[in-house]
Amino acid sequence: MNSAQLILIDKRNQPLKDYIVAVAASDGLDIKGVQVIASPAKGEKALLTAGLRIPPLEDFDFDTQKIAQHTLDQLLINEEVLSCDSFIAQASQDESICDNLRKSKHKLALAIEALISEFTQSSVTDLIRDNRNDALYKLKQQAKELKNKTILCLDIEATDISTNPEADIIQLSVCDLEGHEKLNQLYNPGYPIPPNEKHTITTEMVADAPKIEDCWPDIHALLQQADIILAYSTESDFSYLKNTAEKKQLPFELDYGKWLDVAEFSKELVGAMRWHSERMHWFWKTPKLTIAYERILNKPFPGDAHDALADARATAELMQGMLKLGANSDIKAKETPKADAKVSNNLFAMAFAKAKKK
């Protein structure tokens, strides 16, 4: 009698590590040591073997059943991804064997659910959920605070990274929160622009462009008018402006306290959680602007990434999207735990109070 079946083999020899759960939560995971086997009969050689690919857990809101079902249809054979039905079809040309393999799919699904539950029931998933809720609450409050404020969004392209004080601004773009252009200008740094993967601006493109010092009064006045300035990574953009003013002896009265970093909000909302093994703490990776935009707004990034105006507009739209998520959420502030009431030295009273807390 044909006894073919699908079997989940788990050869892992250590408990699930928290940092692995964190990776799976944001990026998904190809699980080492776990295989799906199409077996013709107990003890006989496998017809076909595949690995498992867990999708990003957050994409399914940590729902064990949904993740398990998706995993069942993400079987890996030499990097090729197959559905379970395709896997069965490749396992044998004998229809009776394939029929029995199909009948065992439910049992395999339950085994995969049990495996996935190790991830979804981890304390790490609670940390992630709490952080996302905290981020939504912050955005909810921010939406109220920004109401009726003059908000500008800025992006800068430069000859080098902002930590190099000799880097020069070669494009500066500013728009309002609705994406309407307020400033978009190329600047000639006075020397050949070195190749840079961060932008596509060439020496030829800025040949007839003004020097930034000649435009500084208008730039400075525009930014001073804003109640709030948004940027994706405010520290670098503010540094570019401050270093330019110092190097070229220009007035600089911009208040960094008025700047809001959109990258910080997106990091808490969709950034990947990782464990810092040396400092022994969890931290959140800042996603690139393109990734944050596409994940939060659920649509392709518009325009050319690393064109200052395109990035400024995308940053403004991203911030608007996050503010709406916060405003529409029903997240409330966490209640501050009440301090334990003092109990007398009476041992019975202390035991009763402890039991009551439980």
Tokens of 250: 């220009």
C-alpha distances out from residue 108 to 37, 95, 101, 210, Å: 10, 19, 10, 67
Three-state DSSP class for 77? strand
Q: What integer pLDDT is reported at residue 43 of this predicted model?
A: 65
pLDDT value of position 150: 97
pLDDT along the chain (358 residues), means of 10: 85 91 96 92 82 96 97 94 96 93 96 97 95 96 95 97 94 98 97 88 95 97 97 97 96 97 97 91 95 96 85 97 95 59 42 43
* CATH superfamily entry for domain 127-331: Ribonuclease H-like superfamily/Ribonuclease H (3.30.420.10)
Neighbours of 158 (CB within 10 A): 27
Interior angle at CA 73, CA 72 and CA 78, nearest 5 = 100
pLDDT at residue 139, rounded to an integer: 97
CA distance 192 to 203: 5
| Separation of alpha carbons 101 and 91, rounded Å | 9
What Å distances lie between residue 133 and 62, 136, 139, 352, CA to CA? 14, 5, 10, 35
Contacts of 191 (CB under 8 A, 6+ apart): none
Strand segments (E) across the chain: 5-10, 29-39, 48-54, 75-77, 80-82, 151-158, 169-176, 181-186, 228-231, 259-261, 273-276, 281-284
Tokens 């939560």 correspond to 25
